């Protein structure tokens, strides 16, 4: 048997870098006893994250799924309503719509960017449509001008699911500032992490107050134990906020390293005849969450993933389409969103972490070329 040290380093598809004040701030929570959802780091993290995104209000919560749930609740979306979501997304986007009793309506992806296709969104609008949830897939900001034009024309809300796009930009504005409400996740594999955690952002004072009420059990801020509506316990802990603040202090470095990793991949794989890459558009700044390639077919995709795993390199398939999953497959037939289905079948996420070196990325690219 080979010794562990003889083997090349295992490259996970994503790993966090916790090399700043994370330990110091968490220890402050432990030393001072503030381990629950009160404590100095919560407001500091919210204020700093609001500033980072250029938005007035940031409201922390316990994960990105809950952030979407709070956003839809605060907008008053409920039974009988339809919400248009991309079919290529993480399942939380669709689940949050289901949680409020509304129906997710799945829309097609753009062939070039893999993001929500505004032309198909327009086709999916009905009398019942109340909101659109664009998702910046793998960090590439969606075509927000076109989505807002549709929203204005049809009187719809825009909930920006920015869970994968901390630091991304669209026409000079940060992801998180591009919807009526925006939501983030700080899960361990995201651009910035708190372990588990989420955030809602909005410039609207009323929506912010509603979200604050909903996430704190519905308690009247002026009157303790007086609950004015059925709320939720969706709060972030001080320990999570401590991690988040430390991550945010180093956001430029963390995001810069991811951008460097993306640059190496683009340089080494950009001209490969069998691969398609997600573009970076002149008016957007990719948040560089997951470097992703489309290989020629689904069979090849699975073979390539197995070959890379054999070389101790983890990959991930692009998300399966939501309309093909058991809870949602009654809503749209297989084959009805062909562009999205193809991207989902052919797409593979490659390791993307701030911890990767150029040599690591070269190793991934060599293994990928051999496998193809």
Find the binder of ligand PLP among 198, 244, 351, 354 (CB under 6 A): 198
Strand partners, 161: 135, 183
For residue 126 the two structure tokens come to 């009905």
Find the binder of ligand PLP among 90, 262, 264, 328 (CB under 6 A): 90
Total residues at interface with ligand PLP (CB under 6 A): 14
Instruction: Provide, rounded to whole angstroms, the least separation between the CB of residue 86 and ligand PLP.
Output: 9
Instruction: Provide, rounded to whole angstroms, the least separation between the CB of residue 20 and ligand PLP.
Output: 21
Region from 46-54, 86-94, 146-154, 224-232 binding ligand PLP, contact rule CB under 6 A: 86-94
Find the binder of ligand PLP among 93, 177, 284, 353 (CB under 6 A): 93
Residue 312's CB is within 10 A of a number of other CB atoms, namely 14
Find the binder of ligand PLP among 55, 163, 242, 248 (CB under 6 A): 163
Q: Using CB under 6 A, which residues numbered 248 to 277 contact ligand PLP?
A: none
Instruction: Provide, rounded to whole angstroms, the least separation between the CB of residue 60 and ligand PLP.
Output: 12
Instruction: Provide, rounded to whole angstroms, the least separation between the CB of residue 65 and ligand PLP.
Output: 3
Taking residues 39 to 78 in sequence order and writing x for each that binds ligand PLP by CB under 6 A, - otherwise, the string is ------------------------xxx-------------
Task: Give the residue with the Cβ less far from ligand PLP, 242 or 367.
Answer: 242
**Residue facing ligand PLP at closest CB distance:** 64
Task: Give the residue with the Cβ less far from ligand PLP, 269 or 340.
Answer: 340
Q: Answer yes or no whether residue 92 interacts with ligand PLP by CB under 6 A.
A: yes
CA 357, distance to chain mean position in Å, is 24
Task: Give the residue with the Cβ less far from ligand PLP, 198 or 216.
Answer: 198
Contact predicate 239/106, CB 8 Å? no
Instruction: Provide, rounded to whole angstroms, the least separation between the CB of residue 185 and ligand PLP.
Output: 3
Residue whose C-alpha is closest to residue 350's, from 284, 300, 304, 297: 304
Q: In what order do the strands lie in the sheet with 198-202?
A: 57-61, 198-202, 181-185, 157-161, 129-132, 82-86, 103-107
Report CA-CA distances (Å) from 274 to 69, 289, 294, 297, 346: 40, 23, 8, 10, 11
**Which residues, at least 6 apart from 233, have a Cβ–Cβ distance to it below 8 Å?**
215, 216, 217
Report CA-CA distances (Å) from 76 to 73, 84, 97, 100: 5, 15, 12, 9
Instruction: Provide, rounded to whole angstroms, the least separation between the CB of residue 228 and ligand PLP.
Output: 27
Task: Give the residue with the Cβ less far from ligand PLP, 237 or 368.
Answer: 237
Find the binder of ligand PLP among 37, 113, 177, 185 (CB under 6 A): 185
Q: Answer yes or no whether residue 143 interacts with ligand PLP by CB under 6 A.
A: no
How many residues belong to the chain? Answer: 372
Give the residue carrying structure tokens 């690219």.
Answer: 365
Q: Answer yes or no whether residue 187 interacts with ligand PLP by CB under 6 A.
A: yes
Q: Answer yes or no whether residue 344 interacts with ligand PLP by CB under 6 A.
A: no
| Phi, psi (degrees; rounded to nearest 5) at 284 | -125, 160
Give the residue carrying structure tokens 């330990």.
Answer: 23
SS3 162: coil
Contact predicate 162/198, CB 8 Å? no
Binding site for ligand PLP (CB under 6 A): 63-65, 89-90, 92-93, 135, 161, 163-164, 185, 187, 198
């Amino acid at each position: 048997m080979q010794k562990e040290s003889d083997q090349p380093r295992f490259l996970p598809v994503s790993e966090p870098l916790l090399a700043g004040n994370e330990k110091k701030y968490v220890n402050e929570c432990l030393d001072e006893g503030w381990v629950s959802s009160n404590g100095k780091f919560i407001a500091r993290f919210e204020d700093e994250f609001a500033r980072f995104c250029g938005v007035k209000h940031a409201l922390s919560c316990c994960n990105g799924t809950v952030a979407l749930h709070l956003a839809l609740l605060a907008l008053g979306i409920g039974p009988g309503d339809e919400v248009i979501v991309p079919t290529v997304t993480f399942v939380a986007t669709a689940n949050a719509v289901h949680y409020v009793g509304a129906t997710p309506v799945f829309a097609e992806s753009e062939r070039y960017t893999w993001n929500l296709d505004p032309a198909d969104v327009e086709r999916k609008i009905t009398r019942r449509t109340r909101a659109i949830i664009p998702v910046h897939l793998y960090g590439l900001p969606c075509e927000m001008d076109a989505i807002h034009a549709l929203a204005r024309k049809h009187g719809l809300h825009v909930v920006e699911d920015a869970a994968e796009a901390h630091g991304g930009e669209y026409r000079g504005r940060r992801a998180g500032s591009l919807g009526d409400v925006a939501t983030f996740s700080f899960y361990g594999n995201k651009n910035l992490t708190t372990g588990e955690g989420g955030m809602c952002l909005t410039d609207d004072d009323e929506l912010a107050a509603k979200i604050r009420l909903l996430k704190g059990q519905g308690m009247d801020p002026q009157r303790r134990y007086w609950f004015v509506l059925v709320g939720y316990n969706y709060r972030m802990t001080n320990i999570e906020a401590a991690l988040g603040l430390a991550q945010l202090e180093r956001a430029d470095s963390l995001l810069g390293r991811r951008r460097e990793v993306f640059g190496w991949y683009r340089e080494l794989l950009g001209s490969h005849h069998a691969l398609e890459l997600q573009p970076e558009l002149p008016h957007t700044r990719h948040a560089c969450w997951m470097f992703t390639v489309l290989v020629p077919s689904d069979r090849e995709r699975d073979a390539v993933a197995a070959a890379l795993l054999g070389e101790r390199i983890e990959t991930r398939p692009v998300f399966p389409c939501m309309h093909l999953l058991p809870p949602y497959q009654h809503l749209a037939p297989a084959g009805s969103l062909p562009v999205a289905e193809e991207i989902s079948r052919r797409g593979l996420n490659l390791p993307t972490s701030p911890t990767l070196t150029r040599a690591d990325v070269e190793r991934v690219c060599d293994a990928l070329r051999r496998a193809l």
